[in-house]
Structure formats: C-alpha cells, structure tokens
C-alpha cells in the first residue's frame, strides 16, 4: 500500500524535520560505535604528550585493518573497572621481549628510545623481567614512566587487541594544543 502524500505544509515540515533528526541520531551513533570516539585524559600518566583534561579523538577503524604498532597511543578499559579507560603507548607487540635494566626499558635488546624522559624509571612493577609479550596482546606504558600504572603491573597487564577501543589520533582540547597526538 503506497504512502499518501501529506498535504498539510506544517505537518509535512514536522515529518521532514523528524526524519532528519532520526537520520542524524542514527548517523551519530553509527560514527560513535564504528568510526570515532571522544575520550578525556584523566591523570598525569601520559605527560608530556597528553595532559590531564585533554580531550582526544580515537579512531575505532584503525585496528580493524591493522595491528597496533610500537609508538601508537591506544585507549582500553581498565581490567578491574571496565567503566574506567586508560590511555597508554604501545611499546611491545606479540613476541617482543621487554627487559628493564638500570631504570631503562629494552625491547628485543634495544634500549627504548624514551624521548619523554631522561630520568631512570623508579618502579619495575610486579612482573618478572625479561618479559615476553604473548600472542594477541600488547605491552603498554605511560609516557610519564614514573607516574603510570601500565603493563608493568598485573592489575593492568598486557592488553588484548580485542580490548583496544581505538587509536588516539588527534587532541581537540585545549584548542591551543589542537593537533596530532603522539
């Protein structure tokens, strides 16, 4: 049965606006679910790259077609409280051997290029070194190595790819620091 044309101009306008609003909401939800996500940086663990209260955009599509790479900044849920999300930098991929000697991290025998800090790291965490990153998981660290809960600690551990919410691609707030993140 064909739909009848609405002859009342006011009713037609309301119908058109309703369709536009529903389409916009659907598009927003689809983008948020499958393409991008907005995240707030909470804490000091990613300084000096990202600061407390920065707002970033995550790409949810990036890891549908590729795997996280060392240097990528990713967001993921905290194991002990899934409503809390962490943002950290990938430093180890499956099969990599992470070691810590003299307060510095080594990946596969090479000292991690830590442009964020010249200071030795004070905490080795509660894992044993050398540590081999397992299949399908990623070893992550905060850029503020001395002020971060990350893969050095069992409460965070290595992050399965399926748990990564997205890759941080751009900082949108504060406007004075708008641009690529990391």
Q: Active-site residue among 83, 88, 117, 161?
A: 88
Matching residue, tokens 């991929």: 93
Q: Active-site residue among 18, 45, 149, 167?
A: 45
d(CA 142, CA 49): 10
Residue 155 DSSP SS3 = coil
Contact yes or no for 67/167 (Cβ under 8 A): no
CA angle 137, 141, 147 (to 5 degrees): 145
Catalytic-residue membership of 88: yes
Catalytic-residue membership of 45: yes
Pairing of β 110-111 and β 104-107? antiparallel
Residues catalogued as catalytic: 45, 88
């Amino acid at each position: 049965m064909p739909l009848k044309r609405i002859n009342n101009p006011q009713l037609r306008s309301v119908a058109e606006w309703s369709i536009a609003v529903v389409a916009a909401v659907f598009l927003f939800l689809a983008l948020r679910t499958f393409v991008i996500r907005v995240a707030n940086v909470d804490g000091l663990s990613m300084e000096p790259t990202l600061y407390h209260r920065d707002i970033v955009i995550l790409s949810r599509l990036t890891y549908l077609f590729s795997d996280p790479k060392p240097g990528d900044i990713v967001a993921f849920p905290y194991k002990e409280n899934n409503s809390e999300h962490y943002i950290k930098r990938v430093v180890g991929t499956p099969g990599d051997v992470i070691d810590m000697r003299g307060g510095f991290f080594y990946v596969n025998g090479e000292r991690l290029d830590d442009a964020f800090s010249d200071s030795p790291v004070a905490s080795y965490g509660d894992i044993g070194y050398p540590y081999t990153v397992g299949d399908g998981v990623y070893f992550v660290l905060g850029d503020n190595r001395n002020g971060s809960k990350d893969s050095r600690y069992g409460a965070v551990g290595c992050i399965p790819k399926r748990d990564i919410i997205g890759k941080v691609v751009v900082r949108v707030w504060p406007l004075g620091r708008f641009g690529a993140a990391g």
